Amino acid sequence: HERPHGLASVAFHLRHISGSLDRLLTYAEGNSLHPAQLKALAAEMSPDGSKEEILAESELGVRDAERRIRAIDLTSWPEPREVGRKKLPTTVAGLLIHCADYTQSHVGQAITTAKVLLALREKPSA
């Protein structure tokens, strides 16, 4: 949960990856978000949860996303979808590409934050 130099925490990135995948795949499946997903979105910045709990939650979320992605029919990729309250237009393929791009971005940010934390811990005190 540490936030070195004001960076988002590793815990946030792990939660956000799982939550974003869940939300994007909900849209790809042609559904709207339900209240529990909106509640989870609001809790992504929460400083609650142990390292083990957050890692388990993240692993479960990624495994569920993989299962859902594998269940998407390849012929549905060009089908139109809408995202969010504004009903922004996209396609199933666009949402799947966004899943990959957004996940990779947050993985990189989590790694960078972890490296900053390690560097700060290794830095000898003056």
Q: How far, in Å, CA of 46 to CA of 38, rounded?
A: 14
Predicted local confidence at residue 94, as pLDDT = 98
Residues 96 and 72: beta-carbon distance below 8 Å: yes
pLDDT band at 126 (very low <50, low <70, confident <90, very high): low
- What pLDDT does residue 125 have? 62
pLDDT digits (tens, 9 = 90+) for 63-110: 999 999 999 999 999 999 999 999 999 999 999 999 999 999 999 999
- pLDDT digit string (tens) for 22-75? 999 999 999 999 999 999 998 898 889 999 999 999 999 999 999 999 999 999
